[in-house]
Amino acid sequence: MDSHLKRLLKKYNLKIQYGPTHGKGCIVKTPDGYPDLLIIKESLSDAETEKVILHELGHAENDDETQKDYKANYTTRLICESGAKAFVVHEQIKKYIDLGNDVSSANWLNLAKYIGTDNYCLVQEELLKYGIE
């Protein structure tokens, strides 16, 4: 796991644990004073594991206490998922740029497919932040 992910996990007080889960990953709240657990399905590839970690970090950054009804309220769930997905796109584009890739030759469609999103507009918007026109 790269150091950037480790810093983000520390920032949001999350500890990774691998194990069975109904989805690819989730955050389990713990008592105060202990890091929350980011549970990740064991059988995922390294690339998929990174995407799940970023997605859950997106929840940690964007979701707040007013969104406790995530499972019961469809609108709340959509808002939370949209924020988490946007976080993944932001972090993956940032990583792409940090690796020295030329923004002007970036193929937003291929990047979106790699990231695992069909929100091509969001990928284009993130690239625009780095100067692509």
Domain boundaries, the chain: 1-45, 63-133
Burial 41-51 (b: 16+ CB within 10 A, else e): beebeeeebbb
Q: Of 51, 49, 17, which is closest to residue 34 (Cα–Cα)? A: 17
Of 41-45, 61-65, 78-82, give the lowest mean pLDDT range: 61-65
Structure tokens at 77: 């769930």
25 near 41, Cβ under 8 Å? yes
User: Cα separation of 49 and 78, whole Å?
Assistant: 22
Enumerate the β-bridge partners of residue 18.
Answer: 40
Please state the rounded mean pLDDT for residues 32-36: 91
Cβ atoms of 88 and 51 within 8 Å: the answer is yes
Strands (E) located in the chain: 14-18, 25-28, 36-40
Is residue 66 scored above 70 in pLDDT? no
For the segment 115-129, what is each residue's pLDDT rounded down to a tens digit?
Answer: 999 999 999 999 999
Q: Give the mean pLDDT of 93-117.
A: 91
For 71-92, write each residue's pLDDT tens digit. Answer: 788 888 898 999 999 999 999 9
